[in-house]
Amino acid sequence: MNGILDILIDIASTPALLVALIAILGNLLQKKDTASIVKGGIKTFVGFLVVTAGAGVVEGALAPFGEMFQAAFNMQGVVPNNEAIVALALTKYGTYTALIMLVGMAFNILIARFTRFKYIYLTGHATLYMSCMIGVILSVTKMGSVPLVLFGGLALGIANTIFPAVAQPFTKQITKNDTVALGHTGNFGYALSGLIGKYVGNKEKSTEDINFPKGLSFLRDSTVSITITMAIVYVVVALFAGNSYVSTNLSDGTNYIIYSLQQAGSFAAGVFVILAGVRLILAEIVPAFKGISEKLVPNSVPALDCPIVFPYAPNAVLIGFLTSFVGGIVSLVIMVLTGTTVIIPGVVPHFFCGATAGVYGNATGGLRGAVVGSFVHGVIISFMPILLMPVMGDLGFQGSTFSDTDYGVVGIFLGNLANAGGQIAVISGIVAVLAVLVGLTVLGKNKKSKAVSE
Supply φ then ψ for residue 358, to 5 degrees. Answer: -65, -40
Q: Residue 172's pLDDT is what?
A: 95
Q: Which residues of 326-338 are buried (b: 16+ CB within 10 A; e: fewer)?
A: bbbbebbeebeee
Q: Residue 393's pLDDT is what?
A: 65
Question: In the predicted model, what is the mean pLDDT of residues 197-204?
Answer: 88
Q: Residue 130's pLDDT is what?
A: 92
Task: Name all contacts of 234-237 with Cβ < 8 Å and 24+ positions apart.
Answer: 234/65, 234/68, 234/260, 234/261, 234/263, 234/264, 235/260, 235/261, 235/264, 237/65, 237/68, 237/69, 237/72
> To 10 degrees, the CA torsion angle through 194, 200, 201, 202?
120
Q: Residue 214's pLDDT is what?
A: 61
> To 10 degrees, the CA torsion angle through 222, 226, 228, 231?
-170
Neighbours of 394 (CB within 10 A): 12
DSSP three-state, residue 352:
helix
Please say if the pLDDT value at position 419 is more than 90: no
230-285: pLDDT as tens digits: 788 888 888 888 888 888 888 888 888 999 899 888 888 888 888 788 778 777 77
> Between residues 116 and 210, which one has the greater pLDDT?
116
Q: Which residues of 409-419 are buried (b: 16+ CB within 10 A; e: fewer)?
A: bbbbbbbbbbe
130-170: pLDDT as tens digits: 988 999 889 888 888 889 999 999 999 999 999 999 999 99
pTM: 0.81
Q: Residue 453's pLDDT is what?
A: 54
Segment (H or E) for 446: helix 405-453
For the chain, give every domain's residue range. 3-442
Contact 382, 213 (CB under 8 A): no
Please say if the pLDDT value at position 16 is more than 80: no
Question: In the predicted model, what is the mean pLDDT of residues 204-213?
Answer: 79
